[in-house]
Amino acid sequence: MLFITIFAQPQVSVIIPLYNHYQHINNSIQSILSQSYSNFNIIVVDDASTDGSSAIVQKLSADPRITLIQHKTTRGPFQARLTALSRTNATYVLFVDADDLLNNPNIIQLSVFQAEKYKADCVQFSELVSNLEWTKPQTCIVLRSHLKSVRK
């Protein structure tokens, strides 16, 4: 997409709450790292997993785009997301669960495009059509960064 190449890319933080998803977390993160959009970071909040999930993320965090934050006790996915939100200053936030895959390599780019085009607070979808038309909107995944009350 030409507009992303010409204009500065707004930063996107991908937030992943993690609790006992040893079998999925590597594939989830790899699907994010495969995105065509380049100005993003990944914040994984391990919510006191007991299955070795955090060890996988620890190895992947050699990539400077990946940050691992560990809760000492289980606090739930909502608190894990709040922890991550308090650590980002990105323009946009993308919430991804630890067992989700971003199968479309342009999903972040398309989401930012839609958010910028419509000055949207939230971009939601479940399926994409190649000409940037959205179908069956259901899941909110990108939020504008005016969540100042959550950030410290």
Residue ranges of domains in the chain: 2-144
d(CA 45, CA 110): 25
List, edge to edge, every strand of the sheet that includes 92-95: 66-70, 40-46, 12-18, 92-95, 134-144, 122-128
pTM: 0.81
Q: Which CATH architecture has domain 2-144?
A: Alpha-Beta Complex (3.90)
Per-residue pLDDT reduced to its tens digit, 72-105: 999 999 999 999 999 999 999 999 999 988 888 9
Contact between 94 and 142 under an 8 Å Cβ cutoff? The reply is yes
